Amino acid sequence: MIASRLVRIAATALSLAALIGTTELASASTWSNHHPRRTEVNHRLAIQNHRIHREVREGEMSHRKAMRLHRKDRRIRHEERVMASRRHGAITPAEQRALNKRENKISHHIGR
C-alpha cells in the first residue's frame, strides 16, 4: 500500500515537472528578446548610458545629474519591457516612436 502510494506520488511529480518544462519552452519561444524595434531602442539606451558615464568621468557632468538621467533611462527601459510583454516580445512602430521621443529628450540633456 505504501509502495503504490509512493509510485503515484512520483508519477504525479514527474508529470508536473514535464508540464512545467513544456510551458517554459513554449513561453520562451514566443518571447522575442531580439525584436528589431526593441534592439534599436535598447541600443540607443546603451549609447546614452555610455555618454553619461563618459561625461561624468571627464568632469563635464555632476554625479547628481547623471543619477537623474540614469533613472529616466531606467524608466524608459522598464516601459519598453512592459510594452513588449503585451505583444510576446515586440513593440509597435508607434511605441518605438514614443520611446525614441523620450530618449531624445534625455539625449539633449547630455553634453550640455
Give the tens place of pLDDT for each residue, 53-88: 999 999 999 999 999 999 999 999 999 999 999 988
DSSP E strands, 24-108: none
Helices (H) and strands (E) in the chain, counts: 4, 0
Q: Quote the cell numbers at residue 34.
A: 531580439
pTM: 0.65
Distance CA 84, CA 86 (A): 5
pLDDT tens, position by position, 22-45: 544 444 444 556 778 888 888 988
